[in-house]
Structure 1
Amino acid sequence: MKALVGNGLVPASDIDKLIAQVEVIELEGKKYVIKKFAKEVGVVKWIPPTVFFRVNYPFTLVPKERFDREVRFFEQEWTCFRTPKLYEKDPKNLIIVREFIDGKPATYSHHSKKLGKFFAILHNHDWSLGDTKPTNFLVTEDGILYIIDAEQAIPTDKDIHKAWDLMLSSFFIAYRFLSNPDRYLEVLSEFINSYLHEGGKLEVIEELTTAKFSGLAILMPLPHVLIMSDVLEDVLRK
């Protein structure tokens, strides 16, 4: 395969014209995704979580570390979900060229059980994703789940890191159903119960009830915090 970066189809001098941090390009009838980790936008977006939630999860601002994390995650041999194929890695310029995935972003409203299963499998392999926003997941027409952003993913056996994945997911669900607490209850229950049904550990759920996660919880509307507390208490009583 010809190089897409450097002296190949996309000259190095043209890279900045083609991409921000992530850009989809089409060459010879095929789509590719080029991601440049050193772009400022990729650093700035991680300042708040790195500053405020470092106690919960080891976020990194460093472009090389984010590059290494994503490459390592994508190169694992996952079976119950997929990651894009890596066509090229440029560790000097911190650029990857990867497969373009034709799919739609997953939503917690429609894929809560699928995402709960994903996190159970991921955590049982002693990995955490770190960044669980819905746009990091794509679902293809045949229902295959792809993880397309893993620049904060780490191998870890610590329950607090795994609990972070669930807490942040609960946060995104809360703001998706900001004006509909009843629907939040339904979706969050599906998500947490799917996680446990697929082998997720109660110890991770218990970690969510500790004071370590109050920093993110206070950013959620009070009715949603109370609902989350009830859901967690319910599953821990079973």
Structure 2
Amino acid sequence: MEEVVAARGYSFEIILSNSFFKPTFSNGILRSPRILFELDAKYGVFGDSLAGLLLSPLEYIDPSISGLVDSYRSSVVAEEAIGIKSMLGLLSTIISVKPELYIISRMVKLSELYGAIYSNILERRGLEALSYARKLIGLGKPRRLYSRFYKIVSSSLAHKMELSDLIREYRLLDAPRGLVRSVSLSESLDNIRIAELHTGDSIECTRLSILYSVYKCVGSRGTVIVKDYRVSSTKWIPAFLASAPTVRYRVDYRERALAELIYTKLIGRIIRTPEIIALHLGRASTIAVKEHIHGSPLVEESNPRYWSIAGRALAKIHLANYSLGDANPSNFIVDDSIALVDLEQARRASIREKAWDIVTVIAYSHLLGLKSGLLESMLKTYSDTLGEDTRILAREFKKIKYWIPYTIMPYMLPVALSILRRVGLLE
């Protein structure tokens, strides 16, 4: 049986043979038939359980293996890039990915075999050990037969590697400064575990609504809001249908997370908004950890002064050509002043989106049973602050499309039109 040492790493050797036998991995030595090793590297037929060592820095003893290594690494980068970009969705337009992440992502999947070897490499040389990934973007193609579930060898070098921890340590994902402090990626996400990362142990989480997955979590290091965008996706389907004649509500959870990141920052220049502390991305959901703003929802406040402050803030938002999309008065938080939370439907605004904000403010206020005097205080201040644009908006409200949703609650339509006339928003 002719055996050849094909390559060496820091703590392992790869020995290939022209004979046929079951591959083994023991004492840092991988022995494999050459044909099986090549099948795994080229097609992934053994879930990279043989070829996975090629992700490590290598010394080539057999020069003929170098082409196989380059081809394998290129395929891994292509395969992981597809998965990660799918997880990011539109978030990929603002979140930058270091190429080394694609290699580390595959290492994490193989950590039950070679985790100790991979961890040792990263401890010795850090990301520089994987710098080859920078040259492989766009060069490889996914392998058709790759299966991460079929392992042909076993190993005593298993060592758990947490992708989210490695992303934080090496800053493998990054967003523009000011949008979010940290970005993480994980196969699966758990609200409680994520809350513990930011608030410490002994946490207590309370769900704030049955319609969407938003939790207030209190721990030893403080209080945060944990928001799972995927869980609340179905909430927006009826809203999407109802608003179709005027605006398009976002349903996709990644679109909504992206909007919240961007517009929390932009609208935060006009009115206080909560800082987004972290964004955790998974294969089936996106979770944001946000600053908790102390106070009570505007809808619980009976002082007209706060409603006027909210109206002035909404007018300034519209004058800056933004809209809220979901202009629920409950999203205004009253403390010493006014803050605004929940901006996943915010957007750049034309007159159409601005008019829709006012329609939804009125609808929410009626559905919540609020006193009309409070709503009028808000809308009167809004109208006064808007200035010359009030006349443009008043003409817009004559269009039937804004009132189509009221066909399911026709008794509210005369009341809504009456309020708009009294505050000067309808001619």
Normalised to the residue count of structure 2, the TM-score between the two structures is 0.47
Shift of 1:236: 5.3
User: Are 2:407 and 1:218 equivalent residues in the alignment?
Assistant: yes
More displaced stretch, 111-120 vs 84-93:
84-93
Which has more radius of gyration? 2
Provide the rounded CA distance (Å) in 1 between the counterparts of 2:426 and 2:251.
Answer: 39
More displaced stretch, 63-72 vs 83-92:
83-92
Provide the rounded CA distance (Å) in 1 between the counterparts of 2:280 and 2:192.
Answer: 18
> Where does the alignment leave 5 or more consecutive residues of structure 1 unmatched?
none
Q: Which residue of 2 aligns with 1:129?
A: 324
Runs of 4+ displaced beyond 4 Å: 16-20
User: Which structure exhibits the higher relative contact order, with contacts defined as CA atoms closer than 8 Å and separated by 6 or more residues?
Assistant: 1
Normalised to the residue count of structure 1, the TM-score between the two structures is 0.80
Amino acid at match of 1:231: I
Work out whether residues 130 and 164 of structure 1, in 8 Å CA contact, stay in contact via their aligned partners in 2: yes
How is 1:68-79 mapped onto 2 (pairs within 5 angstroms)? Answer: 68-76=258-266, 78-79=268-269
Corresponding residue to 1:114 among 281, 306, 309: 309
Amino acid at match of 1:217: Y
Amino acid at match of 2:381: S
Provide the rounded CA distance (Å) in 2 between the counterparts of 1:177 and 1:211.
Answer: 25
Work out whether residues 112 and 187 of structure 1, in 8 Å CA contact, stay in contact via their aligned partners in 2: yes
Corresponding residue to 1:15 among 145, 165, 190: 190
User: Are 2:247 and 1:60 equivalent residues in the alignment?
Assistant: no
Shift of 1:27: 3.6
Q: Which residue of 2 aligns with 1:31?
A: 223
Shift of 1:195: 0.8
Work out whether residues 88 and 97 of structure 1, in 8 Å CA contact, stay in contact via their aligned partners in 2: yes
Shift of 1:208: 2.1
Provide the rounded CA distance (Å) in 1 between the counterparts of 2:302 and 2:394.
Answer: 21
More displaced stretch, 204-213 vs 56-65:
204-213
Work out whether residues 273 and 341 of structure 2, in 8 Å CA contact, stay in contact via their aligned partners in 1: yes
Work out whether residues 267 and 317 of structure 2, in 8 Å CA contact, stay in contact via their aligned partners in 1: no
Work out whether residues 246 and 353 of structure 2, in 8 Å CA contact, stay in contact via their aligned partners in 1: yes
Provide the rounded CA distance (Å) in 2 between the counterparts of 1:101 and 1:82.
Answer: 9
> Where does the alignment leave 5 or more consecutive residues of structure 2 unmatched?
1-162, 169-185, 196-206, 208-212
Q: Deviations over 1:25-63 (max 9, x none)?
A: 234331111212122xx1110010112212211201101
State the superposition RMSD in angstroms: 2.9
CA 1:190 to 1:220, structure 2 compared with 1: closer, same or farther past 3 Å? Answer: farther
Q: Deviations over 1:163-222 (max 9, x none)?
A: 1110011112223448xxxx52x3343232211111262222332221011212334452
